[in-house]
């Protein structure tokens, strides 16, 4: 349950004193905020506290994360020379604090730690737009009109993501998740042309590590098949596609992750319980990692989250 921390008073207390990026850059703080929801909720895995834009800083990008808005890039990337300024990522040298946090966490946790990275399209969108975007218009304009520059950018980003994910696994992460949060803005045809080759190379490059590779994006109902075909092991599903339909689209053998609408947690408990059971009924609890369909909303009552975890653990197919 990503961003579960945001709903916790102990997280907010730390946030009063530190920015998000400061917490990402300080292994002790990143470790503490990763552990906070684990202590409270009884979940079966932890997700590393960091952000998808952290490795971009290591590639020389000047950026910030604005509360309530998201990542903001000082000088957006819009030309071949902007792309050329992105330096290759050396995980140990440029993001060693992330690896230190992974190591600290692995020594403290008795459940698996999931490492993660943003996928090239989603990172490219932040770099090109300069911040969050509704329609990703500049991103798509560059992609359609300057495919060579697009290819150079995707190549640099996938090289960085590949070494970054490998380094997290070598530091002790048990699984990785690739977040292509905003790729649902593309058609399946354009996904195949402008995204799939690079994502495929990322998953291929992790093959020898023998860990589970989870792949997720929002509004990706029409992309579930091409996204899965890039070589991930588990397909994340947002709440817009019922799990039985996701299974029908991908086949019985593909493990799925998802997909309760995070907003349902704002309803009375009876509604949460009924909807969570419905999600489980649609997969029979088989080859299914129960999760929310996207991140926890900040106004969520942590008590509801803890109760949800208990409810899922009590499920009998």
Residues forming the active site: 2, 6, 15, 51, 126
Q: Which is nearer to ligand CP3, 38 or 206 (CB)?
A: 38
Q: Minimum CB separation from ligand CP3 for residue 17, in Å? A: 12
Q: Report residue 161 as tokens.
A: 């993501």
Q: Minimum CB separation from ligand CP3 for residue 285, in Å? A: 24
CA distance 222 to 219: 8
Q: Which is nearer to ligand CP3, 46 or 196 (CB)?
A: 46
9 lies in the binding site for ligand CP3 (CB under 6 A): no
Q: Which is nearer to ligand CP3, 116 or 121 (CB)?
A: 116
Q: Which is nearer to ligand CP3, 112 or 285 (CB)?
A: 112
Which positions ≥6 away from 112 have C-beta within 8 Å? 44, 45, 46, 174, 175
CB 38 within 8 A of CB 305: no
- Which of these ranges, 55-63, 68-76, 153-161, 309-317, lies near ligand CP3 under the rule CB under 6 A? 68-76
Q: Nearest 5 degrees, angle CA 83-CA 137-CA 58?
A: 30
Q: Nearest 5 degrees, angle CA 26-CA 31-CA 33?
A: 100
CA distance 47 to 115: 6
Residues 110-129, interacting with ligand CP3 (CB under 6 A)? 116
38 lies in the binding site for ligand CP3 (CB under 6 A): no
Alpha-carbon distances, residue 155 vs 76, 83, 180, 195, 198 (angstroms)? 17, 10, 15, 10, 7
Q: Minimum CB separation from ligand CP3 for residue 81, in Å? A: 26
CA distance 49 to 29: 9
Q: Which is nearer to ligand CP3, 84 or 137 (CB)?
A: 137
6 lies in the binding site for ligand CP3 (CB under 6 A): yes
Phi, psi of 210 (to 5 degrees): 70, 25
Interface residue with ligand CP3 among 121, 179, 198, 290 (CB under 6 A) is 179
* Residue 295 CB coordination number (10 Å): 15
CA distance 184 to 219: 5
65 lies in the binding site for ligand CP3 (CB under 6 A): yes
Q: Which is nearer to ligand CP3, 74 or 189 (CB)?
A: 74
Interface residue with ligand CP3 among 20, 29, 61, 246 (CB under 6 A) is 20
67 lies in the binding site for ligand CP3 (CB under 6 A): yes
Interface residue with ligand CP3 among 2, 40, 213, 247 (CB under 6 A) is 2
Q: Minimum CB separation from ligand CP3 for residue 5, in Å? A: 5
Q: Determine the 3-state secondary structure of 169 from DSSP.
A: helix
Interface residue with ligand CP3 among 3, 158, 185, 259 (CB under 6 A) is 3
Residue written as tokens 């990322």?
Answer: 202
- Quote the strand ranges of the chain, DSSP E: 46-47, 63-66, 70-73, 113-118, 175-179, 212-216, 234-236, 256-260, 288-292
Interface residue with ligand CP3 among 197, 205, 242, 295 (CB under 6 A) is 295
Which residues of the chain form contacts with ligand CP3 (CB under 6 A)?
2-3, 5-6, 15, 20, 47, 49-52, 65, 67-71, 116, 179, 181, 294-295
């Amino acid at each position: 349950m990503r961003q579960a921390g945001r709903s916790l008073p102990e997280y907010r207390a730390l946030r009063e004193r530190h920015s998000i990026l400061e917490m990402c850059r300080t292994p002790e703080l990143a470790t503490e905020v990763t552990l906070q929801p684990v202590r409270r909720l009884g979940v079966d895995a932890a997700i590393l506290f960091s952000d998808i834009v952290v490795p971009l800083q290591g590639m020389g990008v000047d950026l910030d994360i604005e509360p309530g808005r998201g990542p903001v890039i000082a000088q957006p990337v819009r030309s071949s020379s902007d792309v050329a300024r992105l330096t290759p990522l050396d995980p140990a040298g440029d993001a060693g604090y992330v690896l230190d946090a992974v190591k600290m966490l692995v020594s403290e946790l008795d459940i698996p730690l999931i490492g993660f990275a943003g996928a090239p399209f989603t990172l490219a969108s932040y770099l090109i737009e300069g911040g969050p975007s509704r329609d990703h218009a500049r991103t798509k304009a560059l992609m359609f009109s300057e495919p060579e520059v697009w290819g150079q950018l995707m190549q640099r980003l996938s090289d960085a993501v590949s070494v970054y994910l490998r380094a997290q696994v070598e530091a002790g992460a048990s699984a990785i998740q690739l977040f292509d949060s905003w790729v649902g803005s593309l058609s399946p045809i354009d996904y195949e042309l402008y995204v799939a080759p690079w994502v495929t190379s990322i998953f291929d490059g992790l093959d020898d590590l023998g860990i589970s590779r989870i792949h997720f994006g929002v509004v990706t109902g029409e992309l579930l098949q091409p996204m899965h075909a890039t070589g991930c092991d588990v397909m994340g599903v947002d709440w817009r596609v019922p799990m039985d339909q996701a299974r029908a689209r991908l086949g019985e053998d593909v493990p799925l992750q998802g997909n309760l609408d995070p907003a349902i947690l704002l309803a009375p408990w009876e509604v949460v319980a009924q909807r969570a059971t419905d999600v489980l009924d649609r997969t029979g609890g088989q080859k299914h990692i129960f999760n929310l369909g996207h991140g926890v909303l900040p106004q969520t009552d942590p008590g509801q989250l803890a109760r949800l975890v208990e409810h899922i653990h009590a499920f009998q197919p």
